[in-house]
Amino acid sequence: MSESKRFSHTTEVVFIILILAATLAMLYYTKATGVPFKSFTESDVLAIITSMFVVAVFMERSIEAILTPVRAPDRQKIEQELEDIKRDAKNDDSKKGLQIAKERELATYKLNTARRAYWLSFGFGLIISVVGIRTLAGLVNPEDLNKLTDLHRTLFSFVDIVLTGGVIAGGSAAIDKIGRAISEFFNLRSATDAKPPQDTNT
């Protein structure tokens, strides 16, 4: 095993241990107990997923409106330079190396744009969740939350905010996959589906 791989493996192990230790410490000092889920139907869950989907769509359009004026000009410049290099490389093989370098530059630029979009999405998701749009809170009774200690309730809200922010940051496509998985689990079908649901009693 190379030195870099060994260091990376050790770092991952230490990180996992720190997470487990922090979880154990929070459990010990908060004396946290389980929060029971309230009784809900598949429509209740899908209502939450639909709300997250709508929020994610609006957020994606907002981030696109923010990033496009900032990142698009430089990307278009690199793409134009790449087209010029490709045209010259057809008649000059010595330009092949320059073409490869420019293609890598374009790929790196797109990757950096995607990374910025993700962190913006996560930031927006956290802000949206802070103002009150959350997932876990919709699955438990408010009375059960009110019975928690202040610290326990704060930790619950923190986890709910981070979880919701992560779900929203995944985008509408990821939320759509979650909705489809839930629909399949509950054996739900759209009215536009070609095949009717099978009778499980036959």
Whether 77 shows a pLDDT value over 50: the answer reads yes
36 within 8 A of 140, measured Cβ to Cβ: yes
User: Tokens for 170?
Assistant: 């995944």
Provide mean pLDDT across the span 83-97: 80
In a domain, 156, yes or no: yes
Q: Based on the structure, what is the number of domains in the chain?
A: 2
User: Do 118 and 135 have their domain in common?
Assistant: yes
Least confident of 85-89, 104-108, 147-151, 190-194: 190-194
User: Do 8 and 49 have their domain in common?
Assistant: no
Q: What is the pLDDT of residues 12-42, one digit of tens each?
A: 888 899 988 988 887 777 777 778 888 877 7
In this predicted structure, what is the pLDDT of residue 104? 92
User: Do 148 and 51 have their domain in common?
Assistant: yes
Its sign, for the CA torsion 83, 64, 120, 134, is negative
User: Do 23 and 45 have their domain in common?
Assistant: no
User: Do 90 and 139 have their domain in common?
Assistant: yes
Q: Give Cα 5 to chain centroid, integer Å.
A: 27
Whether 181 shows a pLDDT value over 70: the answer reads yes
Whether 189 shows a pLDDT value over 70: the answer reads no
In a domain, 195, yes or no: no
In this predicted structure, what is the pLDDT of residue 193? 46
Provide mean pLDDT across the span 155-179: 87
In a domain, 175, yes or no: yes
User: Do 114 and 147 have their domain in common?
Assistant: yes
Nearest CA among 76, 77, 96, 74 for reference residue 87: 96
In a domain, 114, yes or no: yes
User: Do 130 and 80 have their domain in common?
Assistant: yes
* Host domain of residue 76: 41-185
User: Do 180 and 134 have their domain in common?
Assistant: yes
User: Do 80 and 1 have their domain in common?
Assistant: no
User: Do 48 and 20 have their domain in common?
Assistant: no
In a domain, 200, yes or no: no
In this predicted structure, what is the pLDDT of residue 105? 92
In a domain, 190, yes or no: no
Whether 62 shows a pLDDT value over 50: the answer reads yes
From CA 116, how far away is CA 75, in angstroms rounded?
A: 14
User: Do 17 and 48 have their domain in common?
Assistant: no
Nearest CA among 116, 119, 135 for reference residue 55: 135
User: Do 16 and 88 have their domain in common?
Assistant: no
Give the residue with greater pLDDT, 191 vs 83: 83
Model's pTM, two decimal places? 0.69
In a domain, 70, yes or no: yes
